[in-house]
Structure 1
Amino acid sequence: MCLSRDSSGRGKRVCMGILGFMDSLLSIFIFAPLVVGYWRGCWQLMDHYLLPNNKLISIMTSLAIGLFSGLFFCLLQGPLGTLCDNDKRPRLHLLVSRLYTMIYCVCCVNHWRGVWATWDFYTGTSWQSGATSVGIGLLTLAITRGLKNILAPPFLVVTDHPEEYFKVPTLFNAKRERCGYFLLDTVFTVVVTGSLVVFVWRGTWVFLDVMLFPDQAIYSAWGSMVLGMTVTLLVFAAQLLIIPCFKKIRKGLGKILIEDAYHTICFIGDVNMWRGVWGLLNIYLLPEMPVVSNFITSIGGMVILMCFYNGNSILVRGAVMDGAEDGCKGIIFPTHYLRHFYKQNRNRNDPQRPDYWARDEDVRSPLHITAPLEATITSKANGVCDGRSFTDGFNDAYRSAYDEDDGRTSRPTSSFLNPDAVSTAARLSMARNRLDSSDLDARAHQTETPL
């Protein structure tokens, strides 16, 4: 029996490793270019259509759209989640969630365009301007512990899972019940942290424009592409060596500094890859018809990513704090795509891993969780309300999903059961045994208890 368990655990780890490798390739070579294509098309369409005859007003309009929409969607996340509950109103959720993604994506692009173009308008595009922008951004983000937020695809993937679809994480994770604190946290996250991330990207991009083949657009784009791909592949591979070193580290300034240094290196690959894809699309995709080219990449990127159940990867929303997670979770790239669906499918089909969040087929409104009555005095309490597997690889995608080989060999046993849960389960089992055989046959399938 032990050999069987060991073999099964080893097989699952191998399977998760293969899926993790495939997730990395999908993120680098498919999802990230599609995301860049959307941003490139939408941004340049804004340049073409949003008050092109008055540059300053166009910039201020983009900035206002981006900031106010960011605050609006962050404050509206609770009501939207309640109104568009996928369990109660699946059709409404599907319609509103996709419309939400399409609108929010445009708003995110306008926020970045407004901040970016404001720097260009008032300071120019010299290397000094770029260095100042990136210096202010990196230093302030490091002080406020928000440096991790400079990462973008291919270092994260956000699936369009309905659970907490509208959630926007704030930097200090303030609770909505504390209205004043939550409002301040929201404003700081959107206005300060979100804009500082643009400072870093804009400064690095401008610096590359000046330093990397400034007079030869083709060489500059290909140079960024090669550099970005090389650094990206290396840091993905480096995780195999770094993760074991971080598993036993919990908190501390040293851990934060190492994470920040690692994420800064990842960012070098990130920004170069984005700049390379962006420049190559401008050079090779219908350069004589730029408007058509922009429409193709923006609409095509959105549609294809939504077909991949991955449209939320386009969004830039919310923020997380550096060093907030224990061990190696802070440096694991949340690129869970195939692993996300594999875990969901395994939880549904594996009889040894009952679906604790199952819904009754005959009842639409109440949520049910299974309450196995087979527990005895010697059995361990089940993790009845552990929803970890239900949300793996989703939410804001900044949280690392639960990994099979992170040192844990079984599901956590977090639950709503009190310390007397074992004896209670035993009493329930004894009561069931007192039922006559006819009642047992009639009630054998009723093993769910409404929450």
Structure 2
Amino acid sequence: MEKYDEDEAHEGEEEDEVHAITYSCIMAPNRCTKRFLHLSDTFIALVIVTPLVVGHWYGTWEFMNNHAEYFPPIPTILFGTCYHLLIVLSRHHVHEKVKTPHLRDRTLMQKVGRYIFTKLFIYVFSIACIMAFRAIFVLCEPYDNGVSRAILLMILSGTALACLKSVRNIIAPPVAIATDCKSVSFAFPTRFKSHASNEPGFYFIDCAFSVIVIGTLVVLVWRSLWVLFDLLIFPGEPILSAYYSVAIGYGIVAITFALQPLMKWSCDRLTGFWRVAVCDAFLFFSFVGTVNVWRGIWELLDLLFLPDDPLLSNILTHSVSFVLLAMLNCSNSVLVRGVFIDAEEPAGQCVIFPVHYIRLFVQKERTKKQRRMIDMLEKGELQTELLEKSEKNTIQIVKGLSKSNEMTNMAANLPKNVPNIENGSEKPCQLYENGLDKENHLYENGVENGEHKIGQ
């Protein structure tokens, strides 16, 4: 739910009370709804978004491999890194130019223009990311072609990322997806979270360190684990290896999703080094499943999707996958940008995978409902409605009190001395008198309690 600034709230105690009533009218989803939304987002991330993201990367990557003479490693990595660095340096400026104060302040042309610009920005950015990744993969081919070398490279690069508290940056779909909102597309953090307005020199160093150092370490971890699986999972049978990789990957990912409540409970009670260590171990375990999923889908596309026409296969997977992701409003999932620090989220949120899709749309609708109710507050419609309800409740209380008082008076006028039929005298019947007193006592208490409950 969006947070509203305190400066924008109305002043005065009466207005604060009305705002409190307004927010209480918008109830949060119940437990069953939350579980359904969580399962729906997980299903979309696993079955829809991940294959499309892998397909876009596969088509672009293999197209460069098939035309390697136009994409040499050194010029490619320089172009991809420089373009990535340029985007990181200018992201705040672009974000300020693109964002607008409120949705209704934009015209139709502005909305369409921002939509097209966002998709083109993400598309070109994805090409730069894939170019840099592929160039590093190609440069590492002569040095990590053995199991021991792949393990050594994975240990060195993984340890460096752990020391920099940046292990979180190795995760990708299906354990992380991103929608195409402007806060995600044009505003993402660097390692030291510096700002250009405060220290321009340190800001450039921070951006360069985030792109070159952290980005290269992430690629090396991916490369070493991918090669290790190539060497260990049925290396002589590519189709069987691909199927096994998909099964292993989705199995590990399913286990990590199921372990999230337990891991959240554990990290919520740990502090310091152990909290970061447990978080990193869990993220790396999910990363093993992620790489297997990517490798399996990649190999299946390479072996089964138009194997006789690789150019058409590459073009279709590259373009159709991105178009579908753009239509689903989550093409940001193909990008590798930003540096997130391990265990920086509060409590146990550091082990919760960011796979929010349908929940974001539900949250957006709730926010719109809040804004409509705030508009009603400003126009005075909600105050009138609340006053009408309070007047109806007052009338009901008065009627209830009148009826209760009438019944009490009738009970008080009844005679207490009743003739004793058995003895023929006018001696009061103790049982009847006590019963009547008890009934009157209950009646009076009942009126008081009823009045109190109605008042609540």
Q: TM-score, normalised by structure 1?
A: 0.73
AA partner of residue 204 (structure 2): L
AA partner of residue 171 (structure 1): R
8 Å CA contact 1:84–1:96 kept in 2: the answer is: no
Match of 1:312 in 2: 332
Match of 2:77 in 1: 63
8 Å CA contact 1:172–1:320 kept in 2: the answer is: no
Measured against aligned partners, the alpha-carbon deviations of 1:386-426 in whole angstroms (never above 9, x if no partner) come to: xxxxxxxxxxxxxxxxxxxxxxxxxxxxxxxxxxxxxxxxx
Match of 2:41 in 1: 23
Match of 1:75 in 2: 89
Q: Distance in 1 between matches of 2:373 and 2:196?
A: 27
Measured against aligned partners, the alpha-carbon deviations of 1:57-77 in whole angstroms (never above 9, x if no partner) come to: 711122112210110100111
Q: Distance in 2 between matches of 1:372 and 1:305?
A: 43
Residues 1:295 and 2:307 aligned together: no
Measured against aligned partners, the alpha-carbon deviations of 1:117-145 in whole angstroms (never above 9, x if no partner) come to: 1111x415222332232122101000111
Q: Which runs of 5+ in 1 are unaligned?
A: 361-368, 376-451
| SS of alignment partner, residue 76 of structure 1 | helix
Out of 253, 267, 274, which is 1:232 matched to?
A: 253
| SS of alignment partner, residue 325 of structure 1 | coil
Match of 1:85 in 2: 99
Out of 255, 259, 264, which is 2:279 matched to?
A: 259
| SS of alignment partner, residue 139 of structure 2 | helix
Residues 1:324 and 2:344 aligned together: yes
8 Å CA contact 1:355–1:370 kept in 2: the answer is: no
Match of 1:192 in 2: 213
Deviation at 1:308, TM superposition (A): 0.3
Out of 147, 163, 177, which is 1:157 matched to?
A: 177
RMSD: 2.7
Change (3 A) 1:202 1:347: same
Q: Distance in 2 between matches of 1:10 and 1:345?
A: 12
Match of 2:63 in 1: 45
| SS of alignment partner, residue 348 of structure 2 | helix
Residues 1:203 and 2:241 aligned together: no
Out of 250, 267, 273, which is 1:246 matched to?
A: 267
Out of 329, 343, 346, which is 2:363 matched to?
A: 343
Deviation at 1:16, TM superposition (A): 1.8
8 Å CA contact 1:86–1:93 kept in 2: the answer is: no
Q: Which runs of 5+ in 2 are unaligned?
A: 1-22, 384-456
More helix by share: 2
Number of matched residues? 353
Match of 1:223 in 2: 244
8 Å CA contact 1:221–1:279 kept in 2: the answer is: yes
Match of 1:35 in 2: 53
8 Å CA contact 1:81–1:164 kept in 2: the answer is: no
8 Å CA contact 1:104–1:315 kept in 2: the answer is: yes
8 Å CA contact 2:179–2:330 kept in 1: the answer is: yes
Match of 1:95 in 2: 116
AA partner of residue 73 (structure 1): I
| SS of alignment partner, residue 247 of structure 1 | helix
| SS of alignment partner, residue 189 of structure 2 | coil
Deviation at 1:180, TM superposition (A): 1.7
8 Å CA contact 2:178–2:184 kept in 1: the answer is: no
| SS of alignment partner, residue 327 of structure 1 | coil
| SS of alignment partner, residue 156 of structure 2 | helix
Change (3 A) 1:334 1:124: closer
Match of 1:401 in 2: none
Deviation at 1:103, TM superposition (A): 0.2
Q: Distance in 2 between matches of 1:280 and 1:86?
A: 43
Match of 2:291 in 1: 271
AA partner of residue 283 (structure 1): L
Bigger Rg, structure 1 or 2 = 2
AA partner of residue 28 (structure 1): L
Measured against aligned partners, the alpha-carbon deviations of 1:336-369 in whole angstroms (never above 9, x if no partner) come to: 00000001112222xxx446998x9xxxxxxxx9
Match of 2:31 in 1: 13
8 Å CA contact 2:267–2:279 kept in 1: the answer is: no
Please identify, of 176-185 and 63-72, the stretch whose mean Cα deviation from structure 2 is larger: 176-185
Q: Distance in 2 between matches of 1:331 and 1:255?
A: 10
Q: TM-score, normalised by structure 2?
A: 0.72
Q: Distance in 1 between matches of 2:213 and 2:232?
A: 28
Change (3 A) 1:10 1:124: closer
Deviation at 1:214, TM superposition (A): 0.8
Q: Distance in 2 between matches of 1:143 and 1:19?
A: 36
Please identify, of 97-106 and 41-50, the stretch whose mean Cα deviation from structure 2 is larger: 41-50
AA partner of residue 301 (structure 1): S
Out of 136, 143, 155, which is 2:163 matched to?
A: 143
Q: Distance in 2 between matches of 1:331 and 1:372?
A: 45
